[in-house]
Amino acid sequence: MRKMIFAAVALAVISALAPAVIAGSLTYQARVKTAAGADVNGPVTIGFRIYDAASGGTVLWGETQSLVAVKGIVNVQLGKVNPLPDGLFNRAELFLGLTVAGDAEMAPRQRLTFVWKAMSAERAAGKAVQAGGGTITVSAASSAAVSITFPKPFDQPPVVMLGSPGSAIAGVSFVPVRVDNVTATGCTAHFAALGGAIATGSADFDWIAIGE
């Protein structure tokens, strides 16, 4: 049995963008782990479904892709097999359901935030949009720097925005502080502990990059 980490990005600057009506695809990056928490390496089949409800409800879009995980990371072009339909992101609420390697759909479904609408809006405006996740790891430290590699190179360095980690590290909350070393292929994300507290452990975060 495997599990996949898809954490929601919560950024006010993104939520301020207006949703758009488009058809196409979105690039996303995720981490796949075994039930024991180890990164998956090798082929993996993942089913994606977008619903109009947190449970039950109607399937509004879906597809299954055969992917290859490298150190737990898979790069996904949602809509590659079955294009995302017009008007999909104009709904008030959407939820993403995932099935990995034929297992039952994971619960709970992930509520799609305004990030997805922002990605749609930017793509409609002719922008290239990619999103993904990473892991902060600290050892008796109050700050961390994480290298991000974009699934596909941009034509020029993009604008990168970071989401706060989905969980505290040993009871200490870390927040994004800056992004530097931005190139067409990647960047460095920096995080710091609130109040300068010291912690040891790890936590996952999300990012979104918008460029040409």
Q: What is the pLDDT of residues 157-190, one digit of tens each?
A: 988 888 778 678 998 888 888 899 999 999 999 9
Q: How many domains does the chain have?
A: 2
Which CATH number belongs to the domain containing residue 89 in this structure?
A: 2.60.40
Domain co-membership, 32 together with 112? yes
Distance CA 17, CA 39 (A): 34
Residue 16: its pLDDT value, please?
21
Domain-ending residue, one of 109, 126, 143:
126
**108 and 147 assigned to the same domain:** no
Distance CA 174, CA 119 (A): 25
Q: What is the per-residue pLDDT for 23?
A: 40
Same structural domain for residues 154 and 106? no
Q: Does 88 share its domain with 103?
A: yes
Q: 57 and 144 in one domain?
A: no
Shared domain for 187 and 96, answered yes or no, is no
The pLDDT value recorded for residue 148 is 93
pLDDT at residue 24, as a whole number: 55
> Does 160 lie in the same domain as 56?
no
Q: Assess whether 71 and 151 both reside in one domain.
A: no
Q: Are residues 78 and 38 in the same domain?
A: yes
| Residues with Cβ within 8 Å of residue 4, at least 6 apart in sequence | 30, 31, 32, 33, 46, 98, 100, 106
Name residue, tokens 């405006």: 125
pLDDT at 201: 93
- Which domain covers residue 11, as residue numbers? 2-126
Q: Are residues 110 and 197 in the same domain?
A: no
Longest dimension (CA), the chain: 48
Q: Is residue 92 domain-shared with residue 160, that is, in the same domain? A: no
CATH number of domain containing 154: 2.60.40.2080
Residues 26 and 122 in one domain: yes
Those residues of the chain that have pLDDT short of 50 are 1-23
With b meaning 16 or more CB within 10 Å and e meaning fewer, what string describes 195-206? eebebeeebbbb
